[in-house]
Structure 1
Amino acid sequence: MIARIQGILLEKSLSSVTLDVGGVGYRVFVPLTAIYDLPEAGENLVLHIHTHVREDAIQLFGFPDPAQRGLFQMMIAVTGIGPRLAMNILSGITPEELAAAITRGDLARLVRIPGVGRKMAERMVLELKDRILKAGLTPAAGPGETPQGVAVMEEDVLSALLNLGYKETSAKSALDKAAREIPAPTTLDGLLKGALKILSGS
């Protein structure tokens, strides 16, 4: 079973990379949140691998560090989450933010991830919270980082957008998108600027 690959990056897409290892090209699926931090083609790259064996294929899922791979492996142990869905989830939220949302029981944040409904979010919290805390994969909550603090901050930003004359539907849509795109922990000012940028189309 392959656990680590080091080679020359040949090409990368939004979902995978191809590595040249001793003249053999390996296709490795990588989360979108990690793609932008990878080196350019022609440079050396090390990925920590989870090997998934099926009857008709062997798939490699790669991560920049062992902690991210560990979180991925915890996720695929959850009922109803396979490797592809786990990779899609990690493409919609950073590993740090995902771990924090799970350990805090922040269902509102989890259901904003594409492919995650409320039942799935509840199952993730139930099955992963203790395992993530035990593994030390998430930092302690700081001021304003609790679900309640985030909810209050989002309400303040929405109120500010409405006061600026934006329609509620457009404001909520921009706020949700900004919350997904801005790395945690965020601030009221950062969230407001992100929403305004989306609303202005810039």
Structure 2
Amino acid sequence: MLDTPLMVRRRARGRWDAPPAVPFADWIARRGIARTWPPPTFGDLDYHLTTLFPPVRPRGHLEVRYLDAQPPGRWIDPVAMLAALLHRPDVTDRVLDLCAPVGTGEDRWVHAARHGTADPDLNRVARQLVDLACGELGALGLSGDSVDDITAALHARLDREPAPRRPGEPGRPTPPPRTPRVPPPPGPLPQPRTPQTGPRPRQSADPSTTRRTTP
């Protein structure tokens, strides 16, 4: 436990990177590069323990550790995608072929963790995998509506758009459509007419005068 190298070193500010091959015991004993660090706390030890993965975990199974970090109600999307990509050996072979160009080298893991699908190569492969998985969803016994829903959600993830909600799923109600506002015509607004209380004036027949006469 104490001889396990640090995965990260917690800091109040900045990056949490830890130098390679520095066990927690060296930090306690202030050996090597760790002699320049502040002394570790019980909180540092507790966090170090959360990064350990002892070899007593189940073997022979594929463990997917990010399923509990999905948006509400959308856990089925990655489950369906993984099932679609693994349900036939020939499909899985195609997955390996697609991932091989971007999965070589230890530095690629760090790069993928930091940039994700913002990296053009990873984005391209991710889209190919989504297309491949969506084409295999029908073989999983899902209904047509479920296939369409999962397909839309997976593509929405890549496009960084909100995933569609399932019918009846709680969430914000859809607002009613807004009536477009018609802009007023250009120019000054017409002035309202003042109603007249007496008899209407009569225009003189002589166009040279502007005098109005009343009967």
Q: Which has the higher contact order (CA 8 A, sep 6+)?
A: 1
Q: Same fold (TM over 0.5)?
A: no
Q: TM-score, normalised by structure 2?
A: 0.23
Which has the larger Rg?
2
